[in-house]
Chain A
Amino acid sequence: MTQTTAESPTSKQRAQLKVRTLRTDRWWLVPALTFAGLMSFLIYGVWAIFDKSYFAEPYIAPFSSPCLATSCPEGARFLGLAPFGDWYGLPPGLLILGLPGGFRLTCYYYRKSYYRSFWLSPPACAVSEPHKKYSGETRLPLIIQNVHRYFFYLAVVIGAILAYDAVLAFRDEHGNWGHVGLGTIILVANAVLIACYTLGCHSCRHITAGRLNHFSRHPIRYKAWTFVSKLNARHQQFAWASMYSVMIADLYVRLVAKGVINFPFA
């Protein structure tokens, strides 16, 4: 049997295949599509944050909600609050951007997707990565990913606000209840998808009961865990669905605000 010695370390005893991969399928397709998908979201996001038409009674664009500055139109302010006064001159969307942004950035699924498609670590399974050294999430900066659960707590709040916005969308542009426009439907669908994504979070799964060793002693938490586990199994799908739904909802509201789409259908 071959022995590992100083002259012949195990790395030399591994099959010395000179090629990066012997895969014959189109392994680059998924990382390429992922890259394109995530980039489109980033580009849209940057545009949306600086776009001023984020409010069209009764709809508020998700990227700018909750609106917390005095520069927000009266009806757009969350519960009428405006803790950020006149001194705040930047787009109000910037104030809250970090919450959903940080949540998705540290999400276990998104981590997988950008480690693979942006950092190529690895680009696909059994395809070697281009980096000389690798320490994973053992040290700074990537060890910070461990804050994810705190972003989860904040994301629950944001999710609830988007649901509240969706409820308000059942009023018409004069504030009378009973309106159901295309915008209402889009905002409701978005709120539902965001909720499915948020509650399917691995940290949520851990908090409900994943951290316990005796499920039988905690029947209610176990039930919650079972429910979260079901959503969690589809976490990737909900990540993409909710990312696009929030983009579509946001764009839709802006188009209404810009007068491209008009009531009563809006």
Chain B
Amino acid sequence: MGYKAKFRVWRGEGGEGQLEDFTVEVNEGEVVLDVIHRLQATQVPDLAVRWNCKAGKCGSCSMEINGRPRLGCMTRMSTFEETETITVTPMRTFPVIKDLVCDVSFNYQKAREIPSFTPPKDVKPGEYRMQQIDVERSQEFRKCIECFMCNNVCHVIRDHDENKPAFAGPRFLMRIAELDMHPYDELDRKESAQEEHGLGYCNITKCCTEVCPEHIKITDNALIPMKERVVDRKYDPLVWLGSKIFKRSGV
């Protein structure tokens, strides 16, 4: 049942490198990560690849397979023709440490820049009372496995490295949306979403949504709703007037 597949894998350190060709055995039921592991075991012992769960849940094995951001452990070999050459490269947006392993610290830095959940001072842990419908929207975003493929595919930084300081990427703009929608979060995150985390850079072209292995509707359910909240705060004179007259908040 097995066959020999043609693989073309990026090898190199710190950006320098090249695509190298290999022929590797493939058995029924295998995924790309299995084949990369076989390559490592039989031909290139120093091939660097990051992985952990092999179940699509740890978000370690993000790579680009035939040019598309994918989880290596969730991409079945049966989706390719046996004669096809399969190209595997590291994520393009982040610095390469070695071979398929990227330095994803950009993402950790962006995560730290977002103020954490801020509940009212007089509510103690254990005293939160929320109805399911109030937290449902945020829960979708909690499915994130932090594979960072959305940040990797987003053209704002993928094609324009210079935008990195100004743009948190879909993963963390979604985090802001999650907190802004949270019934117990007291910080107002609309102004900073736009001014500090670069929500305005997103042009809602939905590539983050297309690659998310958890099928989170990042654009429709986080980014666009957040853009609308920003409009309330910054660009809609009627809402601004209404908030002055009725002094409503925390609705």
Q: Chain B: interface residue count, which band?
A: 35 or more
Q: A179 at the A/B interface (Cβ < 8 Å)?
A: no
Q: Given A108-B224, A122-B159, A216 and B15 touching (CB < 8 A)?
A: no
Nearest Cβ in chain A — how far from B103, in angstroms? Answer: 6
The listed residue (A115, A143, A213) touching B181 by CB distance below 8 A is A213
User: Which chain B positions have C-beta within 8 A of A135?
Assistant: 201
Q: A210 at the A/B interface (Cβ < 8 Å)?
A: yes
In the complex the two chains form, is B15's CB within 8 Å of A111's CB?
no
User: Which chain A positions have C-beta within 8 A of B84?
Assistant: 24
Give chain A interface residues in 11-40, CB to chain B under 8 Å: 11-17, 21-25
In the complex the two chains form, is B67's CB within 8 Å of A206's CB?
no
In the complex the two chains form, is A205's CB within 8 Å of B153's CB?
no
Q: B12 at the A/B interface (Cβ < 8 Å)?
A: yes
In the complex, the chain B residue whose C-beta lies closest to that of A21 is B67
In the complex the two chains form, is B67's CB within 8 Å of A205's CB?
no
Q: B20 at the A/B interface (Cβ < 8 Å)?
A: no
With A and B bound together, what is the CA distance between A257 and B236 in angstroms? 43
Stretch at the interface among B51-59, B87-95, B114-122: B87-95
In the complex the two chains form, is A211's CB within 8 Å of B232's CB?
yes
Q: A121 at the A/B interface (Cβ < 8 Å)?
A: yes
Nearest Cβ in chain A — how far from B84, in angstroms? Answer: 8
Give chain B interface residues in 151-167, CB to chain A under 8 Å: 153, 155-156, 158-164
Give chain B interface residues in 132-170, CB to chain A under 8 Å: 133-134, 136, 153, 155-156, 158-164
Give chain A interface residues in 231-249, CB to chain B under 8 Å: 232-233
The listed residue (B69, B230, B250, B251) touching A126 by CB distance below 8 A is B69
The listed residue (A115, A146, A222) touching B203 by CB distance below 8 A is A115
A residues adjacent to B (C-beta < 8 A): 1-2, 4, 8-17, 21-25, 108, 111-112, 115-116, 121-122, 125-126, 128-129, 131, 133-139, 142-143, 146-149, 202-203, 205-206, 210-218, 222, 232-233
